[in-house]
Amino acid sequence: MFSSTRAIQRWLTESARLIARSGLAVEWVTPLGIPIIQPYHHDSKVSISGGIQSLTFCSSGDTNQKPNTLKQKNGFPPNFIHSLDSSHMMLTALHCYRKGLTFVSVHDCFWTHAADVAVMNQVCREQFVRLHSQPILHDLSRFLVERYCSGPRSTNAQVAKLQEMLLSVPKTGTFDLDQVKHSTYFFS
């Protein structure tokens, strides 16, 4: 039933695995232009020896360390989707503001005054359709190819494999996004 969704998740996961194996952290730009960099690197350890005891400090945010491939590949699909959700939230907030609505949100829970729920509902649906009508995966593919497969590294066989993966953008499903505008349920 969700074969397109699974194909997209596999594409994101495998792309992140190949990127991390090339020694780089996964990064992308949201549809709103916000840059995202996954901070998952191998732990760096610093030990301090004293007379009676020794202390060891670990830091996983040291960008001088190699990327943690497992965390990079497992984190990319949900983090990418969360970045789309946050883009949708920002678009909804901006368009509610333009209509004079009070808008409050926490993650994917949106609130306004009871008298304005119908307008917020319409804005939320319109912005969702507008956002997801964009060629999001193709835009991501173009960004990733430019970021990870160009320049002096582009002749490397590992980079060629990555480029082949990034260019093999999976097909999206056949769901008609306009149905969102008229569905009984969309958000709560």
Using an 8 Å Cβ cutoff, are 125 and 184 in contact? Answer: no
Q: What residues pair up with 41 in beta bridges, in sequence order?
A: 67
Nearest-angstrom CA–CA distance, 110 and 186: 12
pLDDT, one tens digit for every residue, the chain (188 residues)? 578 889 999 999 999 999 999 999 999 999 999 999 999 988 777 788 887 888 887 766 666 789 999 999 999 999 999 999 999 999 999 999 999 999 999 878 899 999 999 999 999 999 999 999 999 999 999 999 999 998 776 668 888 999 999 999 999 888 899 999 998 888 65
What is the total residue count of the chain? 188
Residue 96 token pair: 């509610």
Inter-CA distances, 78 with 48, 67, 187, Å: 37, 18, 19
**Closest-CA residue to 95 (of 116, 131, 133, 126):** 126
Q: Are strands 27-29 and 35-37 parallel, antiparallel or unpaired?
A: antiparallel
- State if pTM tops 0.85: yes
For residues 174 and 122, what is the distance between their CA atoms, to the nearest angstrom?
23
